Amino acid sequence: MSGRNPTYTNPKPCKHLADYKLKHGLDGYNSLQKSLKTTPNGRTAMNRDQSKIPRCSFCSGYEGRLYFCLICSSVSCFSSLELNHAFLHSQSVKGHEIAVDMERAELFCCVCCDQVYDPDFDKAVMCKQIMEMPCNNNVVDVSIESSNKRRKVAPKKTALDLKNSRDLVMRLRRESNSCFLWGLRGLNNLGSTCFMNSVLQALLHAPPLRNYFLTEQHSRESCRKSSFDGLCLRCEIATLFSAFFSGDRAPYSPARFLYSWWKHSADLASYEQQDAHEFFISLLDRIHERGEQARPSNKDNGDCHCITHRVFSGVLRSDVTCTTCGFTSTTYDPCVDISLDLDPRNGCAMEVADGFIKQSETKDMSTLVGCLDLFTRPEKLGSDQKLYCQHCQVRRDSLKQMSIRRLPLVLCFHIKRFEHSPIRKMSRKINRYLQFPFTLDMTPYLSSSIVRNRFGNRIFAFESDEADISTEFDVFAVVTHSGKLESGHYVTYLRLKNQWYKCDDAWITQVSEGVVRASQGYLIYYVQKILYHKASEDMLAQPISPHRDSFLSTSVCC
């Protein structure tokens, strides 16, 4: 039942554990179950006898670490290497080598003097835990059920047919006389439109989006007929793509695009510096809306099949746990980006003197990983935010924890640098440097990892492990903001074939990797290292994961 767990490495048992298993099988584990007790925050301990403190059978002591023998149920203690009664027990009675750490319900080998692991033991612990938990089953999914769910998710990906688009795009590239830095082109500033230019540059170089538009999956001919006012925002974007990948090098004026966008977003249409993130969200929204006229689709939970959702949409999971009884209520919400609060710097609050960063201070800065840790950390909801617990039937103190249920193909991180204080009626910008990696592994932030961690990282099928989506991402675009809140400037750094280019409106220049690393990221775009292709006919096929360069820059000229 607890099938394959691709994310665990199954640890090899020590000789003593292996012998124990051969001789006693699951007997010890099963009879242990009645003595296990779980606290609301997911920690399991042995709670054998409520009326007595467990004492060591050798010294009657109750201090140090207590170990419960799986064979004879005697308790022995470990205070130090000299006072190791657990070891004594294993020596005094033959074969009594495996015990359980009473405080943590972990297997312990008294001879190796080390913690050991057995999937069967973890399963026994988890089964007890599940039974005891206040009745909700959405936290722990049965593995069979979850693998079925996973299969249903698969077919959607076929529309971004990797192989076909690759071929078509290669042809387009050859046809556009210039292969050199294909797709790189400046954007004229039409009057405080750098916020728009910066986001457009990032989108124009998002691999799945680029493939989609260049292979004309949004057909401009058939579209013009169907849209009511002859202005389809997707057509405008398709126009942008073909202009950018045409080989023409003169900076492009996205005037028609601006006109089209303003027509569709009355509220945001004004000549003034705007927020790039707001533009990004509004644009995705508009493209999504427009698409629905042609193809009505299910809006819920990221099942929408419009191009923007196929590329950017992920699913976030929110768990709210009652701290009294442990009852957890889970909700899922789709998202097209992840907004992160800057994590506070560790260590001293001193500002680092210009340019001289000592070794010990490299950790004293905000990092993207730190922001993600903050995002997924269990947060104690204030006493004024007591939520109604269905199990306790009253309002209780709760813990809230976010995690990522499903990762998108392109991950956009929005760093919340603009703080708006309604009390002081002031807004300010946080200029603090944020370190971000060029390669990012999102595994620790997945719901499967977060939930598993909450239950002590037991070897058990917790969530449908998203084996068909890679968790490794590569950065490809960074939108930076420099200057003050009211009068700043947006610039985008793009990564093409491992070389970085600065896109400052009409000016495209080459920059070193270091410049990008040291820049003040505001919107950071990552794309999946490996893009999967799944045959729609064969639902049971294993995912083919060719180690392709997602930047489509391999076997072509230059």
Helix, strand, coil % in the chain, rounded to nearest 5: 35, 25, 45
Q: Are 172 and 365 in contact (CB under 8 A)?
A: no
User: Catalytic: 194?
Assistant: yes
Nearer to other proteins, 82 or 272 (CB): 272
Residue 201 as a binder of other proteins (CB under 8 A): the answer is no
Residue 226 as a binder of other proteins (CB under 8 A): the answer is no
Q: How far is the CB of 508 from other proteins (least distance, A)?
A: 5
Spatial neighbors of 39 by CB under 8 A, at least 6 apart, are 45, 326
- Both structure tokens of 434: 């944020």
Residue 484 as a binder of other proteins (CB under 8 A): the answer is no
Residue 354 as a binder of other proteins (CB under 8 A): the answer is yes
Segment 160 to 189, residues that bind other proteins, using CB under 8 A? 181, 184, 186, 188-189
Binding span for other proteins by CB under 8 A among 214-222, 262-270, 325-333, 375-383:
262-270
Segment 308 to 337, residues that bind other proteins, using CB under 8 A? none
Q: How far is the CB of 3 from other proteins (least distance, A)?
A: 16
Tell which one of 191, 344, 347, 546 touches other proteins (CB under 8 A): 191
Binding span for other proteins by CB under 8 A among 254-262, 298-306, 317-325, 406-414:
254-262
Q: How far is the CB of 211 from other proteins (least distance, A)?
A: 24
Residue 362 as a binder of other proteins (CB under 8 A): the answer is yes
Q: How far is the CB of 421 from other proteins (least distance, A)?
A: 22
Segment 100 to 139, residues that bind other proteins, using CB under 8 A? 101, 103-104, 106, 115, 117
Nearer to other proteins, 184 or 281 (CB): 184
For 135, the 3-state DSSP assignment is coil
Tell which one of 91, 457, 498, 545 touches other proteins (CB under 8 A): 457
Tell which one of 4, 34, 174, 263 touches other proteins (CB under 8 A): 263
Q: Are 495 and 510 in contact (CB under 8 A)?
A: no
Per-residue mark of binding to other proteins, 272-291 (x: CB under 8 A)? x-------------------
Q: Are 304 and 296 in contact (CB under 8 A)?
A: no
Instruction: Please report the DSSP string for 147-200 in residue order.
Output: HHHHHHHGGGGGGS-HHHHHHHHHHHHHHSS--TTTT---B---SS-HHHHHHH
Q: How far is the CB of 415 from other proteins (least distance, A)?
A: 15
User: Catalytic: 489?
Assistant: yes
Q: How far is the CB of 11 from other proteins (least distance, A)?
A: 5
How far apart CA 103 and CA 115 sit, in angstroms, is 13
Nearer to other proteins, 155 or 191 (CB): 191
Binding span for other proteins by CB under 8 A among 17-25, 87-95, 256-264, 275-283:
256-264
For 45, the 3-state DSSP assignment is strand
How far apart CA 505 and CA 490 sit, in angstroms, is 9
Nearer to other proteins, 136 or 443 (CB): 443
Binding span for other proteins by CB under 8 A among 21-29, 201-209, 268-276, 326-334:
268-276
Q: Which helix (H) or strand (E) holds 206?
A: none
Q: How far is the CB of 517 from other proteins (least distance, A)?
A: 4
Segment 9 to 38, residues that bind other proteins, using CB under 8 A? 9, 11
Segment 416 to 435, residues that bind other proteins, using CB under 8 A? 433, 435
Instruction: Please report the DSSP string for 291-337 in residue order.
Output: HHHHS----GGG---SHHHHHH-EEEEEEEEETTT--EEEEEEEESS
* Catalytic residue (choose from 305, 391, 489, 533): 489
Segment 144 to 163, residues that bind other proteins, using CB under 8 A? none
Nearer to other proteins, 157 or 234 (CB): 234
Distances (CA, A) of 355 to 433, 480, 518: 13, 20, 11
Segment 45 to 104, residues that bind other proteins, using CB under 8 A? 63-65, 101, 103-104
For 499, the 3-state DSSP assignment is strand
Nearer to other proteins, 217 or 553 (CB): 553
Instruction: Please report the DSSP string for 232-267 in residue order.
Output: -HHHHHHHHHHHHTSS--SPB--HHHHHHHHHH-GG
Nearest 5°: the CA angle 147, 5, 42 is 95
The CB-side HSE value for 9 (13 A sphere, CA atoms) comes to: 2
* Catalytic residue (choose from 69, 194, 304, 412): 194
How far apart CA 236 and CA 258 sit, in angstroms, is 9
Helix 276-294 crosses helix 233-244 at what angle (to 10 degrees)? 110
Segment 500 to 519, residues that bind other proteins, using CB under 8 A? 501-502, 505-511, 513-518
Residue 356 as a binder of other proteins (CB under 8 A): the answer is yes
Residue 496 as a binder of other proteins (CB under 8 A): the answer is no
**Which residue from 65, 142, 149, 138 is spatially nearest to 108, judged by alpha carbons?**
65
- Both structure tokens of 226: 């169907």
How far apart CA 218 and CA 222 sit, in angstroms, is 9
How many other C-beta atoms can be found within 10 angstroms of the C-beta atom of residue 294?
A: 15
By rule CB under 8 A, what count of residues binds other proteins?
Answer: 78
Q: How far is the CB of 26 from other proteins (least distance, A)?
A: 20
Catalytically active residues are 194, 489
